[in-house]
Amino acid sequence: MENKKIVAIIQARMGSTRLHGKVLKDVSGKPLLWHVINRVKKSKLIDQIVLATTNKKEDLKLIEIASETGIESYAGSEEDVLNRYFQAATKYKADIIVRITSDCPLIDPRIIDEVIKHFLRDNFDYVTNTIRYPYPDGLDVEVFSYDSLKKAWFEAEIPSEREHVTPYIRNHIELFKIENHENDEYISNMNLRWTVDEERDLEFVREIYKSLYKEGEMFYMEDVLELLKKNPELIEINIKIIRNEGYLKSLEKDKHQISKNEYARRNI
């Protein structure tokens, strides 16, 4: 595994349905996406960072931010995110892909490296910390091999497996060697939500940054947890928002497509 190229691919687009343009929202004087990129940069194991955005005109600004922060970018399909990831990974010759989403401005580089180390420990196809959610929502990391991504790209057909990157892998445990990276304490039992999908999420993140962010320095999960212990009212800002709503919508599309396919099969 020593010579394997590890590429973090951050997916981002302006067209979020619940909070349009969220990746450019101001957080402590910088765009939210800027913070995500610069936190991922603190990983000690990632060889390259790539922004995977869409080829829509409104996303050109995101490519500019990527350039300003010194990372590469790829523009591809808005809806077929699996294809966007595969093409980006192929272009930049990734052997191992670290998937990060741009709506996680509290992403912890130490946790990123822990999940990568777990992946490298054995001959895994896919390792994540999101199967049983041992961390707050917003510290999500997925690490998978290029070969696994390629197989998913070739085989996946239903909407939930094309509009999202890893469901095909997760849905086929008979094909892939999968493991969850655990935390000593199931912090997520506290229902902590550190991702940004709605205005309330943005308000929460801004409060965290107001207390902890200092330019040129890094704060980590433990720092946020300590802040929340001292100020538990912050947790209430966004605690009741549905988790993974976008993926749930894709599952509804699956039902429609599967029913159409079944109709066609019966009427051949």
pLDDT tens for the 268 residues of the chain, in order: 468 999 999 999 999 878 999 999 999 999 999 999 999 999 999 999 999 999 999 999 999 999 999 999 999 999 999 999 999 999 999 999 999 999 999 999 999 999 999 999 999 999 999 998 789 999 999 999 999 999 999 999 999 899 999 999 999 999 999 999 998 765 655 579 999 999 999 999 999 999 999 999 999 999 999 999 999 999 999 987 765 554 445 555 556 565 556 444 434 4
Question: CA-CA distance, 54 to 45, in Å (whole number)?
Answer: 27
Separation CA 45–CA 57 (nearest Å): 33
Across the chain, the runs of DSSP E, i.e. the strands, are 6-11, 26-27, 30-31, 48-54, 72-76, 96-101, 126-128, 142-145, 178-180
Q: Which CATH number fits domain 6-266: 3.90.550.10, 3.40.50.1460, 3.30.420.40, 3.30.1280.10?
A: 3.90.550.10
The pLDDT, as a whole number, for residue 256 is 56
Per-residue confidence (pLDDT) for residue 191, from 0 to 100: 75
Extents of the domains making up the chain: 6-266
CB atoms within 10 A of CB 112: 24
In this structure, which amino acid lies at residue 138?
Answer: G
